[in-house]
Structure 1
Amino acid sequence: MTVTRRGFLRTTAGSVAALVLSFYVPERARAAPDPETLHPMPNAFVRIGADESVTVQLTRVEMGQGNWTGLAMLIAEELDCDWSKVRPEHAPAAPVYAHPLLNIQMTGGSSGMKYEFDRYRKVGATAREMLVRAAANRWNVSPAACSTENGVVLHGEDRLTYGELAADAMELTPAEEVALKEPRDWKLIGTNVRRLDTPEKITGKAQFGMDVSFPGLRTAVVLRPPAFGSRLVRFDAAAALRVPGVEKVVPTANGVAVVAAHFWAAKLGRDALHVEWTQPDGGGVDTDELLADFRAMAKTRGTTAVEVGNVDAGVAAAETRFEAEYEVPYLAHAPMEPLNCTVRIEGDRCEIWTGTQLQTLDQNAAANLLGTAPDKVVLHTPFLGGGFGRRGVFTSTFVSEAVLVAKAAGVPVKVVWTREDDIRGGYYRPAFVHRVQVGVGGRGVPVAWDHVLVGQSIFTGTPLEAAVVRNGIDATSVEGVAGSPYLEGVPARRVSLHSPTTAIPVQPWRSVGHSHTAFAMESAIDELAHAAGRDPLEYRLELLEDHPRHANALKLAAEKAGWGTAPPQGRARGLAVHESFGTVVAEVAEVSIEKGRIRVHSVTCAVDCGTVVNPLAVEAQVQGSVAFGLSAALHGKLTLIDGKVQESNFHDYEILRMFEMPSVAVHVVPSNAEMGGIGEPAVPPVAPAVANAVFALTEQRLRSLPLRIA
């Protein structure tokens, strides 16, 4: 099929009197689904209506991180439109919305702004140029003689609104190249802009996956294996079918679904099921035994990720030797809105409503299960009630399960997970053990560093394995260690990895590998500083002499936190700095001990994320990351016995409570660095900053999470 840009725009515009602008990418356009089967304008990034509305299609989903506002700001800046007329909406699942690097439509890796910054601005600039040209044609003047302001094209006393020009502009061929504004001319980017999704969420108008409802829709809950490694043998549905409201009981790939008129009937029906399961092989995973095995593995060299110099000789010949082990447990994502997926199947077509971070993979999985083409699967993305990686399942399990239930039941079905379902049968941040051996020279500076990591790979066996796992190394397992700036100047250094397989399913958790590597690295560096009798800030600055972004962030956070001055009585401070997703974050935590428990009073953060689109969004994400990171640092831990997760809900899988929330000060480091992410980078430094503060206060070195005072 040959597609011209003009023809493409005409086709996607349909009969709407509006300017619809998109990118034409030949490789993806040829694979794009038929617009009529998916969405009136599936490939448009911006639509300007005759009513002056500016509708922005979002390639990245909104799950609390601010894409709803930030991406719209990029187009609005270059379009020079009336911000009050901007209306974002989630884009449908279509190849044109693929991540520029991964070539799938997805949200994750704190990559939204970084990879859409130029693309979205170009859309806005291209639309503005077409509107100006349309106005110039009407007035019979040169486009260069026209200007724009707040959604209006101006020429002397003449003025035409974008809505008045939209239909004419649609008839024009987009310019091949457009000039983007210089940063000095930005009016919106870099300013504090209130979030566009806040009013809808305050009033309850915002629609989440759990809110989906239409005539004929049924609710289903699934009884899944009680232990990882168990399989369904048989079930008796008689008692469940006697529960009022229960209509059907159907098997899934490895469970039993109860379909009912409403949730409570489905839950009671599930409680009444009689099910037989196999026992997991070997009796099932026990986390105490598993971590003991990990510790044993950590005493041996793994697959080499980095090796420079003779590490063994360097450690042996050093003036002194430091050795320590750091441990982190399995963690649940626990988003506020539990998983859910609504599916309606009609013939060879399927319609899905779900909060997903991986539209392409989920759309393809549904098509494969139904034996149809992806363009026959319409995937609607509502607001996501939190994600943190949980809604980015590479194997599309929760979407596939819902498709199978709807297919077997023969009716539209919303599959709902309870909190207990997710915590006991979900996917987790893997547990890790780090063993660090350091040969220390003069002034306590490391001269040899041997670092062994043990933990499950999150990408092995997934569709993204080839892109992430190389030569037996899952890059996300060692990120933050293999490329640590602290190690660059160490003459002899080695990082190796063991990636054991278990029955426990794992996947990315907010900040991915950095969530554990920062704890190990920043704890070890702090230990080395104290062993040398040196100030932890001064010691770090010496090691980071060739890394000004890290050094500047540390200096700013320390200055703002009052480092070097006496903290209030009974308190102490600790610091940490870490780079992830292209962003450097330094944090200083001030803590005390109250009734034997760690109390974090304040966290001072300095952030270097390059260009800042919306400072309010940066502040909010850092504050949220601190809360998220503290939940893990102070409370988070999953325990498995005989393959069964013992925790079930927030009473025993605790998250940070309101009274525990510290004050969080966020300071942006002025930077010309390439834009980095902001949704995750403030999570990794939290735990080590707190642990280091506890040591400064109590001289107890806490090397495992969650942090507990002896």
Structure 2
Amino acid sequence: MSRVLNLSRREMLHGLGAGVLALGFGFPARAQGGAGFGAMIAIAPDGAVHFTCPSSEMGQGTQEALARLIAEELDCDWARMQVLLPWADRAFINPGMGKQMTANSATTVGYFLPLRRAGAAARAMLIQAGAARWGVAADQISTQAGEVIHAASGRRLTYGALAQDAARLPVPGDVALKSPADFRLIGGKSPRKDLAAKVTGRAEFGVDVMRPDMLVGALALAPHPRAKVEAANLAQVKAMSGVVAVVPVDGGYAVLASRFWTAKKAAEALKLTVLSSPTAGVDDKAIDAALIRAFAEKTPLPFPDFDFSTMRPRAGGGDKPAVLAALAAAPRRVEAEYDVPYLAHAAMEPLNCSAILADGQLTLRGPMQSPEDVRALAAKMAGLPLDRVRVEVTFLGGGFGRKWATDFPIPAMQAAMAVPGRWVKLIWTRENDLAMDQFRPAYRVKSVAGIGADGALVAIHSRIAGQSINTYHGRRGFPGMADPTAAGLLIYGCYAPVMKLMEFHEADLAIPVGFWRSVTMSQNAFFAESFIDEVARAAGRDPYAYRRDLLAGEPRIARALDKAAAMIGWDRPKAKGVGRGIALTYNEGHVCAQAVEVRVNKRKLAIRRIVAAFDCGVMVDPAGVESQISGGIIFGLQAALWGGVSFAEGRPAISNFNDVRLPGLADVPPIEVALIPSGAKPGNAGEAGTPPIAPALANAIADAGAGRVRRLPLSQRFELENA
């Protein structure tokens, strides 16, 4: 993306009235759907800048970061800038992903340059309009806080006063961007734009949507979204007081009423008979058996030695005969087997969506990470052209990947189609939300390493067994290559020179699975960084120093590792029962190294400190980045300590937060985050803090002399106590 294009620049004029400047910016043509353009910036007559944020805001601060990009180059009055929520539209695609979706921590990365260019183009048009108004050269004009200034004459005009004139000008094809030395918002501090609305309750989350004469729905669901059920007492429930309709939907029935409590009690009264279910008879023993069979019976698919977590992975390596020969010839071998369980998302706001079918148009409104995909699916299911479907995004009360899925708007749409002309808000209870989650898959890994006579790491072969997220969702991968959501970075490519072989054995399980915060690395950081720790100890080396040697060609990663080691006091003497562990995760856009200090006394585990060193290049909002890393650590800590979903009789054995142990304030140890400045291009931060905490904690426990943890969660072996 190298140009700001003069296309659809008046699309938003009708929204804010006369005298409004609306600016669209262009995206490169893509294979699917062609080029998309849209107006995100509008300047009202009073000078207020309205910015429609193209991504979903679920607490991670995208509204704040993207608004800063626009305001920095536009040079507007930041205090008066208003940020609006988006709707599904190709105008809002993320250029780095080619879609309108908020996932993979790709928001700042994808929009960093396009939004800055859009802001700079708008500023250039305002300067040109001011110069024409005063009859002076444009290079004599400057801007400040939403005003165009001619210093020689002392004249000033607000952006609002010039908006109408500026709107008539062509959008410049090339614009100069500010030097980082001139940034006043990027990298600075200010209260978040969404903070006041959330504190006062004015922010609209999905569950807050209210419309006149709205119906509210509750669900009675099958044990699996693709199960077939029937209700034996359907007529009786339809006749219950206050019930307006009982609608068959995917996975069960939606009961509609004027009040949620009425709908909920009626839904609970439905007596469902399961006719068929893909998970019939599945329990923990069946899952374990499926993983064993996968290793024994499924031909493994190889995965190249590249970094899946980048949007454009770099492939290489994977010579199986050479790796196996190197392992066979190695003077010493290290073998280990690891397990992680299924994990629930458990976002604070349960799934919900509102919808209406009226006058031949279907409108959906709710907390969605992928509105473009929801819109396409809704159009297909309703048999409507795409331009007759509108999908509006509210604030999200947490997502973690769950609200990236498109399953939960479907019942709302189906219910709305059954009562045309009326809004329907379908609220999933916490029990519905957890029972029908798209879980992070359970995985088992078998790793073998060969160590030379000098202790050097020669080769690693790691095999992983579990479900394929891509298979469950019907997405085709590359022929002959393992699903990257299972096998990516199972062995770190940054550790060199080491021969590597990664393979995936796909298990025959039909449990609903989906993306969970940090996707592949949520499990593979634990496997990779635990095993490298074991290899180091088997070689008689310090685990930090061993990693450091393997990172000789990766100065950026090594710098973060060094910082984390220094922060935890790696070389300081330790008392008996005290251990320190270190681990890292990385991709093209970031490096996150974490270290943990623990005290272990038999089954009692006390986490004394957690430190993190983080480098994601240019940071638009450093305070937000620090919060993302701290929050990601706590999210990953919960999974490492208590996470895990058991299954019995084809259903997940969890119902509400009483079955999901969450950390309280007393459970969270001191967390220190060091942000490492670098000149690298902006990278991702939202998921980076989650993966390293589990291996760092397991490595610290081993260092304390309490044995090697190879199975999560840790609550199976330890009881957490305050440090």
Question: Residue 466 of structure 2: which of 455, 458, 483 is its match?
Answer: 455
Q: 1:399 to 1:660 in 2, by over 3 A?
A: same
The Cα offsets for residues 359-411 of structure 1, whole Å up to 9 and x where unpaired, read as 11101111111111121111111100000000011xx2211221111112343
* Deviation, structure 1 residue 566: 3.0
Matching residue's letter, 2:619: V
Residue aligning to 2:615: 608
Does the C-alpha gap of structure 1 residues 84 and 229 become closer, same or farther in structure 2, counting only changes over 3 Å? Answer: closer
Match of 2:157 in 1: 160
Q: In 2, distance between residues paired with 1:249 and 1:145?
A: 68
Q: What residue ranges of structure 1 are gaps of 5+ in the alignment?
A: 35-41
Deviation at 1:481, TM superposition (A): 2.3
**Using the alignment, how far apart are the partners of 1:167 and 1:588 within structure 2?**
56
Aligned counterpart, 1:20: 22
Which residue in 1 is equivalent to 2:672?
Answer: 665
After TM superposition, give the deviation of residue 217 of structure 1 in Å: 0.6
**Are 1:327 and 1:703, in contact at CA under 8 Å, matched by a contact in 2?**
yes
- Report if the CA contact (8 A) 2:225-2:251 is conserved: no
Equivalent residue for 1:427, pick from 429, 438, 447: 438
Report the CA distance between 1:240 and its aligned residue. Answer: 2.2
Alignment of 1:182-581 (within 5 A): 182-226=179-223, 230-280=227-277, 283-298=280-295, 302-306=300-304, 307-308=318-319, 310-393=322-405, 396-410=406-420, 411-460=422-471, 462=473, 465-466=475-476, 469-481=478-490, 484-486=493-495, 488-490=496-498, 492-567=499-574, 570-580=577-587
Which whole-Å CA distance do the structure 2 matches of 1:685 and 1:472 have between them?
Answer: 26
Tell me, yes or no, if structure 1 residue 77 matches structure 2 residue 72: yes
AA aligned to 2:682 is M
Describe the superposition over 1:52-104 as per-residue Cα deviations: whole angstroms up to 9, x where unpaired.
21111111110011101000000111111111011111222111211214322
1:38 matched residue in structure 2: none
The offset of 1:347, in angstroms, is 3.0
Deviation (angstroms), 1:130: 0.4
Q: Specify the SS of the correspondent of 1:8.
A: coil
- 2:128 paired residue number: 133
Q: CA 1:540–1:348 in 2, change beyond 3 Å: closer, same or farther?
A: same
Q: Are the equivalent residues in 1 in contact too, given 2:42–2:50 (CA < 8 A)?
A: yes
Residues 151-189 of structure 1 deviation map (CA, whole Å, 9 limit, x = unaligned): 111112111111111111111111111011111221211
Unaligned 5+ segments in structure 2 are 305-317, 719-723
Letter in 2 for 1:481: L
User: Is the contact between residue 290 and residue 508 of structure 2 (CA under 8 Å) also seen in structure 1?
Assistant: no
Task: Report deviation, 1:32.
Answer: 10
Cα deviation digits, residues 250-298 of structure 1 (max 9, x gap): 2113311111111111110011112221254684222333123314533
Maintained 8 Å contact 1:298/1:433:
no
Moved more, 573-582 or 234-243: 234-243
The 8 Å contact of residues 12 and 42 in structure 2, kept in 1 or not, is answered as no
Q: What is the CA distance between 1:315 and its match in structure 2?
A: 1.3
Deviation for aligned residue 1:621: 0.2
Counterparts of 1:109 and 1:500, CA distance in 2: 25
SS of equivalent to 2:625: helix
Trace 1:42-121 onto structure 2 (pairs within 5 A). Answer: 43-121=38-116
How far apart, CA to CA, are the structure 2 residues paired with 1:630 and 1:469? 33
Query: For residues 526 and 25 of structure 1, what CA distance do their matches in structure 2 show?
Result: 45
Following TM superposition, by how much is the alpha carbon of 1:237 offset from its aligned partner in structure 2, in angstroms?
2.1
Note if contact 2:591-2:615 (Cα within 8 Å) is conserved in structure 1.
yes
Q: Would the aligned equivalents of 1:581 and 1:681 in 2 still touch at CA under 8 Å?
A: no
SS of the residue 2:10 aligns to: helix
In 2, the alpha carbon distance for the partners of 1:11 and 1:611 equals: 32
2:44 counterpart letter in structure 1: G
TM-score normalised to structure 1 length: 0.93
Match of 1:37 in 2: none
1:594 offset after TM fit, Å? 7.0
> Is the 8 Å Cα contact of residues 9 and 38 (structure 2) preserved in structure 1?
no
Is the contact between residue 28 and residue 96 of structure 1 (CA under 8 Å) also seen in structure 2? no
Determine the structure 1 residue equivalent to 2:307.
none
1:563-642 counterparts in 2 under 5 A?
A: 563-567=570-574, 570-580=577-587, 582-593=589-600, 596-642=603-649
Instruction: Provide closer, same or farther for how the CA distance between residues 684 and 443 of structure 1 changes in structure 2, counting only shifts above 3 A.
Output: farther
Taking a change above 3 Å as real, the CA distance of residues 319 and 24 of structure 1, as seen in their structure-2 partners, is closer
Q: Which residue identity is paired with 1:484? A: G
2:27–2:35 Cα contact (<8 Å) kept: no
Kindly indicate whether the alpha-carbon contact (under 8 Å) linking 2:278 and 2:510 is maintained by their aligned counterparts in 1. no
Pair 1:567–1:196, CA change in 2 (3 A) = farther
- Does the C-alpha gap of structure 1 residues 238 and 592 become closer, same or farther in structure 2, counting only changes over 3 Å? farther
Partners of 2:43 and 2:349 in 1: CA distance: 33
1:230–1:277 Cα contact (<8 Å) kept: yes
Say whether the 8 Å CA contact 1:319–1:440 is kept in structure 2. Answer: yes
TM-score with structure 2 setting the length: 0.92
SS in 1 for 2:397: coil
Which residue of the other structure, out of 644, 655, 671, is the alignment partner of 2:662? 655
Partner Cα separation in structure 1 for residue 666 and residue 367 of structure 2: 30
* Seq. identity, %: 37
Contact 2:354 2:366 (C-alpha < 8 Å) held by counterparts: yes
Between the aligned partners of 1:182 and 1:521, the Cα distance in structure 2 is: 40
Return the offset for 1:226: 2.9
- Within 2, Cα distance between the matches of 1:168 and 1:30? 36
Q: Measure how far apart 1:31 and its partner are.
A: 6.8
Relative distance call for 1:474 and 1:227 in structure 2 (3 A) is closer
Cα deviation for residue 326 of structure 1 reads 1.0
**Separation in 2 of the partners of 1:498 and 1:403?**
37
Per the alignment, do residues 461 and 327 of structure 1 end up closer, same or farther by CA in structure 2, a change over 3 Å counting? Answer: closer
| Distance (Å, rounded) in 1 between the aligned partners of 2:464 and 2:702 | 24
What secondary structure, in the 3-state scheme, does the structure 2 residue paired with 1:125 have? helix
Aligned length: 694
